[in-house]
Structure 1
Amino acid sequence: MSLLSVLRAELAFGMTPLLDMASISVLEGERIGFIGRNGSGKSSLLAAMAGRLALDGGEVRRRDGLRVVLVEQEPALPLAASLRASLAARGGLRAADLEGDDWRSTARLQEFLQRFDLDGAIDPQQCSGGERKRAALALAFASQADILLLDEPTNHLDLDGIETLENLLIDEQRGQRAAIIITHDRRFLDRVATRIIELDRGALQSYPGNFAAYESRKALAMQSEALERRRFDRFWTQEEAWIRKGVEARRTRNEGRVRRLERLRAQREQRRERLGSVSMGVAPGERSGRMVAELEGVSKSFGVRAIVRDLSLRLMRGDRLALIGPNGAGKSTLLKLILGQIAPDAGTVRGGTRREIAFFDQQREALDPDKTLIETISPGSDWIEIGSSRKHVIAYLGEFLFPPRRTEAPVRTLSGGERNRLLLARLFARPANLLVLDEPTNDLDMETLELLEATLADYEGTLLLVSHDRRFLDNLATQCLVAEGNGLWKEYVGGYSDWLRQRAPPPRAEPTAAAEQDGEDGAGRQARPLAQRAAKLGFNERRELESLPGLIASLEQELAAMQERMARADYHRQGPEQIRSDRARSQQIEVLLEEKLRRWVELDARRPA
């Protein structure tokens, strides 16, 4: 059943329409991944759905009594004595209601605060960006909303927070509640989304399934669109040539053809072309020494809190090291230790020779809000040196999708995604053999994110990465340094998924007496190990378990063959359509492999010993 429909929506800011007769229906229980380029109008459409923004044309129809909750990119918390009271005010509740222990909504809010690892008694004005986002998400899930509208919910969340959000969306959304989620996190969409909707040139296109399924269908749709436009342009050119030949168009037998040409002209004039793509390339620096950094027995504490304890690490030229850990684990501190920017309390840090370092700061503190884009990229000059080539600064900014009229604008007028693109433009303009990227994927759209990945994959220097984007880490990292708690860090070979496979499983908790007394009800049952509470394998499940090893092996062989082919020196001579198709299939296989491995582990755990 449809909960909400947007019909023939029109919306424009300036000359370019964001929504051009766009329509969409949201059904019960759907989890819609909402994607599109930065600035295409996704947040505006969510605001219109929530009733916070009026459309220029069209309408939003809601089912009677429909309750909609919007979590913005940067949620604000009202002034209050505690986070709990602030959330009550944000949710339209009375502070007095929070004092009643028997009030169900209070208990539900407290439950979700705990699930997002938040203390309801803290001062809301002291909350970090990540804490504010988690608090707004906790309130949204505690509400009785029929539709959740989540705008970039994974921004500012660490990996644990993202997994919590994924599990809540999957578990809590079973039933009638729907969700629309704007995000650039592809792994998140692969796991959560039941449908992908793309906002492209003012129109909404719907694709069933998760992000991997969307990628396959999108490649075919783009090929079909390109073919149709070539046919249209060829026919239009022929008709224009005919009219220029001086044919007596006023004769009755030709009037229909003239009218058709006029319609073709109008149709072509209204056609909106796809925007250009960001063009990236890293300025190569001087080749660094073989050893980039070496840490021996390094420890660092702030007060009584150990950030790093007895860490030994060697970073070699060409390594791509990802730092993984929850917010507050000390990833930024560890980066500074590796780079020699701060001294350890104990142990030694040796830096390599001929290091040229370029740093991407997640807080964007390096940007002066009063400077123009030109002054930020090339102060005092109209030209910029990129490796051995020389480019005009306006042309270079154009490669990052900044039109000439925007290059004189101050930095403070840029959106989050535009600021990230500006930082990347400045980063890649500097010769560097060591790139340090601290959350570079925040606020980037899918297309720019994938191009950033491709650029970094071709980079011959050394990478230090901090990111919550798991697919980004899988595609780039050669090793992971993971926070294991109490200042301990452990190195694993490979990317994020490789770490998940290698890490030791958490110890199983022994059932307590209280849990045993719970019998088959309540939390006691939920805490029991899977093998204890799962039913025996049925006939179909036994057959599935027997078939999974062969299926997994087949998928692994296909993936290995595809990766080998894509690694060949002449692979990039193929057409862009084939390359996109191969990448989409490779990513689809990876998702299938993860699903089949997870299913095999689940069934194998239930198999009798």
Structure 2
Amino acid sequence: MALLSLTNAHLAFGHWPLLDAADFSLEAGERVGLIGRNGSGKSSLLKVLAGLEKLDEGLLQREKGVRIVYVPQEPVFERNATVFEAVAEGVAEARDLRARYEAHVEGEDLDALQTRIEQLEGWTWEQRVDEALHRLGLDGARPVAELSGGYKKRVALAQALVARPEVLLLDEPTNHLDLDAILWLEELLRSFNGSLLVITHDRAFLDAVCNRIVELDRGQLRGYPGNFAAFEAAKQRELENEALANARADKVLAQEEVWIRKGVEARRTRSVARIARLMKLREEHAQRRNLQGGARLQVDVGERSGKLVADLEDVRKAFGERVIVEGLTATFMRGDKVGLIGPNGAGKTTLLKLILGELQPDGGRLQTGTRLTVAHFDQMRAGLNLDATLADTISPGSEYVEVGGQRQHVNSYMVNFLFSPARANSPVRTLSGGERNRLLLARLFARPANVLVLDEPTNDLDIETLDLLEEMLIDYPGTVFLVSHDRRFLDRVVTSTLVHEGPGRWREFEGSVQDWLAQSARSTAASKADAKTERKGERASEGTAAEPSPSPVPVTAPAAAPKRKLSYKEQRELEALPAQIESLEAEQAELSALLNGSDLYTQGADRIAQVTARAAAVDDELMHLLERWTLLSD
């Protein structure tokens, strides 16, 4: 049963339609990811569903009594509120009703108050707030104003969850969250019992959380069953079919236009039905909203840097008692693409300044390369003047930019980043969050640089622009240092990662983020197993009284345990393992080809889920057999 539904919805921003006769419904238990181009109207749609904005035309229906909670992209709290007080706003009605009941206000219907309080579970609202604080790792006594952006997002989520909504609406919930917090949020939302509608461009997050994707495209809402991977395959086929249909329609229209202009001959054979069809074709062509073109990203590398970018040996950096870097040894060469992974506040920006020689270490040796031209991407958009025009932001004091040795008018250059020439003189404050990020990229790439420092460049960017930014960075011949919590983006771009492993400890890791996460999970599991074995040994030794020794005995290292001969059963198992491993590897290759192809995504959500689950099971089983084969072989 639909908890929310839109029918024939119309919503416009000026003359540009955001919703154009759109239909949408959210069923109980659904977890829907809402995606679309920057500025397409996703946030406006969420506000309409939350009751904060109204449609220009159309029908919004809600199931009677359904509790809907909306968490905006940038949550706002009372200036002097504590975390407990901010979260308690989620149960404001229950809190206020109970206060009125306990005050015995004259004229109040206490029976009606009591009934409503019980409906809202208001007698225990403090316990609900405390439970939410504990679950989200928040200190209720701390002022909200002191919190980082990531923790403010946690407070907003706690405020939403404590209200126990049937429908949760989230606008870019992963912005300002570090990787650990994003993984935590994924688990939280997977265990959420209500319905979820979330706007995000984090493709790994969509794959992990959502069971349906809805795209807002040219005013229409189109739903696709399954996760984001299934959507990508289906969308590609849909765009190909749309292009073919438009080409056929244009060809027919061109033929009919030739016929109607044949003069006397055409008037003799003119058919009323044929003329009516021509009028309809003209109308359909005029009303067609073609797919907006993609951004064209190009960066000017400028002068080539030296082969060495930075060489660090046992480098240390601290601010007072807070150690940011301790004992780091690493070398970075021209063309390296390095991802930095760590929680908010770990010191990633400080580490980057050290690597590039903008800060000097307190200890160790640092050597930076020659002819380095560095361009920085500002995560918090602090460098943007909101009153400046778009053209002045990209090219201050000049109407031209020079990229790759070619001189280009700033208006023409802006089109590459999906800004129309008509907006050249618009102030920056009129842009959405994603458009501001695109503007920053346009400004960044208009300057020659052989080293790019990108601090959270993916925030608010639409998925098409993300794909193009990935491809540009992969092909970029210079050096890239990339701070991001977007796992898929990092996996595609970086050649190595610097991972924060505790106060001051950074480790260079070759491979993708997923490889690092898998290795970390295995290391954690092994550590827990070792600790459990050690505790068992300690309990066993405590239970056996040690006999007193008449004289000290020198302690010697225990002799290495001799290799144990395999039993008959183990020998047979070892002989059978290679064939089992080969069979699983073949199945793994087949499943991988199936998942990477397009045929699977025409077979429905159940088949997609079945293949995905089997692929995961094969991976786990293969890993187990390989470990077993190694153990028996040794």
TM norm. shorter chain > 0.5: yes
Q: How far did residue 117 of structure 1 move? A: 2.7
Distance of 1:547 and 1:41 partners within structure 2: 52
Q: How far did residue 96 of structure 1 move? A: 7.6
Distance of 1:467 and 1:98 partners within structure 2: 45
**1:344 equivalent in structure 2:** 361
Q: How far did residue 191 of structure 1 move? A: 1.2
**2:36 equivalent in structure 1:** 36
**1:369 equivalent in structure 2:** 386
Asked if 2 retains the 8 angstrom alpha-carbon contact of 1:552 and 1:596, the reply is no
SS of the aligned residue for 1:505 comes to: helix
Distance of 1:250 and 1:57 partners within structure 2: 43
Report which stretch shifted further, 551-560 or 356-365.
551-560
Instruction: Indicate which of 119, 138, 150 corresponds to 1:130.
Output: 150
**2:199 equivalent in structure 1:** 182
SS of the aligned residue for 1:168 comes to: helix
Report 1:185-584 matches (<5 A).
Answer: 185-246=202-263, 254-503=271-520, 505-506=523-524, 507-508=527-528, 550-551=583-584, 554-555=587-588
Deviations 1:348-372 (A, max 9, x none): 2211111111111101122222322
Deviations 1:115-163 (A, max 9, x none): 3332121101222222211111122223221111111111111111111
Distance of 2:426 and 2:355 partners within structure 1: 36
Deviations 1:225-257 (A, max 9, x none): 011111111111111111111367788971111
Deviations 1:466-511 (A, max 9, x none): 0010000100111111111121111110120121233352232868
Report which stretch shifted further, 147-156 or 290-299.
290-299
**2:132 equivalent in structure 1:** 112
Distance of 1:490 and 1:363 partners within structure 2: 26
Asked if 1 retains the 8 angstrom alpha-carbon contact of 2:87 and 2:158, the reply is no
SS of the aligned residue for 2:528 comes to: coil
Q: Relative to 1, partners in 2 of residues 1:202 and 1:562: Cα closer, same or farther, differing over 3 Å? A: closer
Report which stretch shifted further, 202-211 or 102-111.
102-111
2:613 is equivalent to residue 595 of structure 1: no
Asked if 1 retains the 8 angstrom alpha-carbon contact of 2:91 and 2:125, the reply is no
Report which stretch shifted further, 548-557 or 178-187.
548-557
2:58 is equivalent to residue 58 of structure 1: yes
Report 1:121-160 matches (<5 A).
Answer: 121-160=141-180
Identical-pair percentage: 52
Distance of 2:622 and 2:188 partners within structure 1: 22
SS of the aligned residue for 1:279 comes to: coil
2:12 is equivalent to residue 12 of structure 1: yes
Q: Relative to 1, partners in 2 of residues 1:133 and 1:553: Cα closer, same or farther, differing over 3 Å? A: farther
Distance of 2:6 and 2:463 partners within structure 1: 24
Distance of 2:51 and 2:594 partners within structure 1: 51
Distance of 2:10 and 2:581 partners within structure 1: 49
State the AA in 2 paired with 1:276: G
Q: How far did residue 548 of structure 1 move? A: 8.6
Asked if 1 retains the 8 angstrom alpha-carbon contact of 2:90 and 2:160, the reply is no
Deviations 1:161-192 (A, max 9, x none): 1111111111223xxx1101110000111111
SS of the aligned residue for 1:456 comes to: helix
2:67 is equivalent to residue 72 of structure 1: no
Distance of 2:283 and 2:199 partners within structure 1: 34
SS of the aligned residue for 2:92 comes to: coil
**1:524 equivalent in structure 2:** none
Distance of 1:169 and 1:599 partners within structure 2: 25
Distance of 1:42 and 1:102 partners within structure 2: 34
Deviations 1:386-428 (A, max 9, x none): 1221111110011111111211122222221111111111111
Q: How far did residue 92 of structure 1 move? A: 2.5
Asked if 1 retains the 8 angstrom alpha-carbon contact of 2:95 and 2:125, the reply is no
Runs of 5+ in structure 2 lacking a partner?
103-120, 534-578, 603-608
SS of the aligned residue for 2:191 comes to: helix
Asked if 1 retains the 8 angstrom alpha-carbon contact of 2:98 and 2:122, the reply is no
TM-score (norm 2): 0.80
State the AA in 2 paired with 1:12: A
Q: How far did residue 301 of structure 1 move? A: 2.0
CA-atom RMSD in angstroms = 3.3
Q: How far did residue 112 of structure 1 move? A: 3.2
State the AA in 2 paired with 1:595: A
SS of the aligned residue for 1:485 comes to: coil
Q: How far did residue 15 of structure 1 move? A: 1.0
Q: Relative to 1, partners in 2 of residues 1:598 and 1:188: Cα closer, same or farther, differing over 3 Å? A: farther
Distance of 2:265 and 2:487 partners within structure 1: 65
Q: Relative to 1, partners in 2 of residues 1:591 and 1:319: Cα closer, same or farther, differing over 3 Å? A: farther
**2:190 equivalent in structure 1:** 170
**2:108 equivalent in structure 1:** none
State the AA in 2 paired with 1:18: L
Report which stretch shifted further, 135-144 or 7-16.
135-144
Asked if 1 retains the 8 angstrom alpha-carbon contact of 2:584 and 2:618, the reply is no
Say how many residue pairs are matched: 551
Q: Relative to 1, partners in 2 of residues 1:210 and 1:562: Cα closer, same or farther, differing over 3 Å? A: closer
SS of the aligned residue for 1:292 comes to: strand
SS of the aligned residue for 2:301 comes to: coil
Q: How far did residue 343 of structure 1 move? A: 2.1
Distance of 2:414 and 2:441 partners within structure 1: 10
Distance of 1:458 and 1:395 partners within structure 2: 23
Asked if 2 retains the 8 angstrom alpha-carbon contact of 1:33 and 1:183, the reply is yes
Asked if 2 retains the 8 angstrom alpha-carbon contact of 1:79 and 1:86, the reply is no
Q: Relative to 1, partners in 2 of residues 1:592 and 1:293: Cα closer, same or farther, differing over 3 Å? A: farther
SS of the aligned residue for 1:508 comes to: helix
